[in-house]
Amino acid sequence: MKNFLRINPKPYLIASLLLLLQISAAAADAPLHLTLPPALYAVPGVSLNIDFRNTVLADPEDGYQFKVDCELGIVDGNQRWTLVASDDEVGEHVLKMKLSDASGKLVDEASTVIRVVPRDAGKGRKMTLLIVGDSLTSATHYSNEVGRWLSEPENPKWTMLGTAKPRSGKPGVTHEGYGGWTWGSFNERYGPEEWVMKNDRKRKDQSPFLFVAEKGAPAKLDIERYIREKCDGQKPDYVTFLLGINDCFHAKAEDSAAVEAKFTGMIKQAEILLAAFRKALPKAELGVCLTTPPNSRESAFYANYKGKYTRANWRSIQYRLVERQLKHFGGREQEHIYIVPTAFDLDTLTGYSEINGVHPNESGYARIGTSIYEWLKWRMSER
């Protein structure tokens, strides 16, 4: 009898390989392409990055090569483009990117605009900010980072609004961020108690934006009442929304119809919430944050989900979700709705721990917070 080498591959590698084959078969007719936002924002002295992993549904180790043409910044190997702008670089700069395969054949190209805004944008003014989101917001790390940047010189006097005030929050940092929540949770979640105990943790059971006008009546979105009763009448100048993971995470990437149905349902709920804010706050600027990419380690997903959900599956969905967000929410500045490009400046290796698939570590959260801060500075430079 012949002797065979016994191989005991890790379960998550088997699950990932099988899923990749399914996704590849389902997307055989869809060519690989680059995705960039219409604009990225930079503040002198503050770093801005484009991590190449986040621009295409492939990894640098797959043999693809990235080439960047821009008068600003430098390319860090085949991993990222990075910029720390100077004051004399304030203005708009075109960035072009090309993707080639291992043989050097051009696969796709895309472009964006780098908007470098004055470091003193908003100085001497007052601004109020409301941050809305799921568990990434509940962790409070990126909100802390936004507050830290806004506390630097050359910035306005800032106030954050929100009923969630975790112990991890730095002075003045508040938000409306709750683990497991979707866009629809803020529109519809209204339990018998405001807070409940679940799995030995206190969890929000009611949307802060829902109110009952009278006993027995259904709960309704009422942003004006929220501002009046829960924000002491202070109106936010800016509202950011970082959601989407819980809306779409459980879909199967190879089932395109089911994935599109998830996207459509999410956008429907997003429009309901945005419309409610738009009606109550016609002058406020609403920033839709692009859903962040996952940990680049498949093993991190196995640590969380034991093979039930894989990195390959969620990465495929998240990438397509960002494309859908860009298409749906882009070009709506006349409605005071803007895209915040949080999906691109995040290192999916160093920005995550080895045991968490979708929640960044502190350095990853810091990059999210920095992206939001840079967007805020751009908007303050325009007002």
Distance CA 238, CA 46 (A): 21
Q: Which domains does the chain have, with CATH numbers?
A: 20-115 (2.60.40.10), 120-188+231-382 (3.40.50.1110)
The DSSP string of 218-257 is PPEE-HHHHHHHHSTTPPPSEEEEE--HHHHTTS-TT-HH
Sign of CA dihedral 368, 300, 101, 27: negative
Distance CA 110, CA 374 (A): 22
Cβ burial, residue 258 (10 Å; 0-12/13-18/19+): middle
Distance CA 99, CA 67 (A): 7
For residues 155-189, b (16+ Cβ closer than 10 Å) or e, as one string? bbebbbbbebeeeebeeebbbbbbbebbbbbbbeb
Q: Are 359 and 25 in contact (CB under 8 A)?
A: no
Distance CA 200, CA 210 (A): 25
Q: Are 114 and 48 in contact (CB under 8 A)?
A: yes
Distance CA 78, CA 90 (A): 27
- Predicted local confidence at residue 343, as pLDDT: 98
In the three-class reduction of DSSP (H, G, I as helix; E, B as strand; rest coil), residue 259 is classed as helix
Cβ burial, residue 110 (10 Å; 0-12/13-18/19+): middle
Residues of the chain with pLDDT under 50: 1-9, 14-29
Distances (CA, A) of 32 to 21, 64, 79, 103, 106: 15, 11, 18, 15, 11
Q: What is the DSSP letter of 352?
A: S
Q: Write the pLDDT tens digit of every residue in 315-356.
A: 999 999 999 999 999 999 999 999 999 999 999 999 999 999
Q: Are 204 and 134 in contact (CB under 8 A)?
A: no
The DSSP string of 132-193 is EESHHHHT-HHHHHHHHHHTSSS--EEEEE-SB--TTSPTT--BEE-TT--HHHHHH-EEEE
CA–CA–CA angle 178, 181, 186 (5° rounding): 90
Distance CA 281, CA 129 (A): 13
- Predicted local confidence at residue 337, as pLDDT: 98
Tally helices (H) and strands (E) across the chain: 10, 17
- Predicted local confidence at residue 45, as pLDDT: 97
- Predicted local confidence at residue 21, as pLDDT: 45
- Predicted local confidence at residue 25, as pLDDT: 40
Distance CA 309, CA 299 (A): 11
Q: Write the pLDDT tens digit of every residue in 94-104.
A: 999 999 998 99
- Predicted local confidence at residue 199, as pLDDT: 60
